[in-house]
């Protein structure tokens, strides 16, 4: 019987390195040389070499059976499109401005409790209907970009993505909030995408990062 990663952990392969994200503690571990060569469709758990597998079982990273916890969502494919660098401003009305400010406050507060598991549970869009047309999604992104010029606290990928994902999700768009990592130098990053369109980043930038988890 194949072991499973503990419910609060997600993992990804970068070359022969195994990157493990702890959703409870918002931390990452990279295990160099942990993976054996295999085809792209080989499950990650089957690529872990025997010595690493035994060590991960001993440390509680791998467990005998799946545990209750945040359900693992399928990772989206890399986006292939992005928005123009400069889009005309779309100033939000009073109601949307107040909503954005409230979402910024909530996002800033969430940063004090660094648990992506809690963030992703609240904003999990798995069961949302994808009813918002692309033109309206782009218009909402323009609103957020315009509001960010005068609303404090929107800098940084985490708060920006949390606010944008929450706003679009509440309007019926099945956006994905993606967390990725890269090595050399090690860096974690997140972005929001809708289907093949990245909304708050550039295609050439996010392709440097290997997705680990997405809501």
d(CA 144, CA 139): 9
**Per-residue pLDDT tens digits for 131-143:** 889 999 999 999 9
Continuous segment of H or E residues that includes residue 84: none
- With beta carbons less than 8 A apart as the criterion, state whether 68 and 62 touch: no
Strands 62-63 and 176-182: unpaired
- Structure tokens given for 206: 């996010």
Residue 184 gets the label, from left (phi > 0), alpha (psi -120 to 50) or beta, of: left
My answer on whether omega of the bond before 66 falls inside 30° of 0, hence cis, is no
Which tokens in the block code for residue 62? 């791998």
Asked if 199 and 164 count as a contact pair (C-beta separation under 8 A), the reply is yes
Rounded to whole angstroms, how far apart are CA atoms 15 and 12? 10
What is the token pair recorded at 161?
Answer: 């993505």
Whether the pTM exceeds 0.75: the reply is yes
Which of 181, 178, 97 is CA-nearest to residue 140?
97
| 73-95 CB burial, b ≥16 within 10 A, e <16 | bebeebbeebbeeeeeebebeee
Tens-digit pLDDT profile for the chain (215 aa)?
Answer: 788 899 889 999 999 999 999 988 888 999 999 999 988 788 899 999 999 999 999 999 999 876 655 555 688 999 999 998 778 888 888 999 899 988 888 888 776 666 666 666 666 545 556 788 999 999 999 999 888 888 877 778 988 999 999 999 988 899 999 999 999 889 999 999 999 999 999 999 999 999 999 88
CA 91 to the chain's CA centroid: 27
**Cα-trace Rg, the chain:** 18
Q: What is the dihedral of CA 120, 41, 174, 122, to 10 degrees?
A: -10
């Amino acid at each position: 019987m194949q072991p499973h990663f503990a419910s609060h952990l997600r993992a990804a392969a970068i070359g022969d390195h195994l990157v493990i994200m702890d959703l409870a503690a918002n931390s990452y571990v990279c295990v160099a040389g942990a993976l054996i060569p295999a085809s792209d469709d080989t499950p990650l758990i089957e690529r872990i070499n025997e010595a690493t597998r035994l060590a991960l079982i001993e440390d509680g990273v791998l467990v005998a059976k799946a545990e209750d916890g945040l359900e693992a969502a399928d990772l989206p494919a890399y986006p292939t499109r992005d928005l123009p660098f400069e889009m005309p401003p779309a100033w939000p009305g009073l109601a949307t401005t107040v909503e954005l400010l409230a979402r910024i406050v909530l996002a800033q507060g969430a940063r004090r409790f660094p648990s992506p598991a809690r963030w992703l549970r609240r904003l999990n869009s798995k069961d949302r209907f994808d009813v918002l047309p692309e033109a309206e999604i782009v218009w909402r992104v323009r609103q957020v970009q315009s509001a960010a010029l005068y609303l404090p606290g929107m800098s940084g990928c985490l708060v920006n993505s949390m606010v944008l994902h929450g706003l679009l999700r509440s309007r019926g768009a099945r956006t994905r909030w993606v967390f990725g990592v890269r090595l050399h130098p090690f860096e974690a990053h997140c972005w929001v995408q809708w289907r093949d369109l990245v909304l708050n980043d550039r295609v050439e930038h996010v392709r440097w990062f290997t997705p680990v988890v997405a809501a």
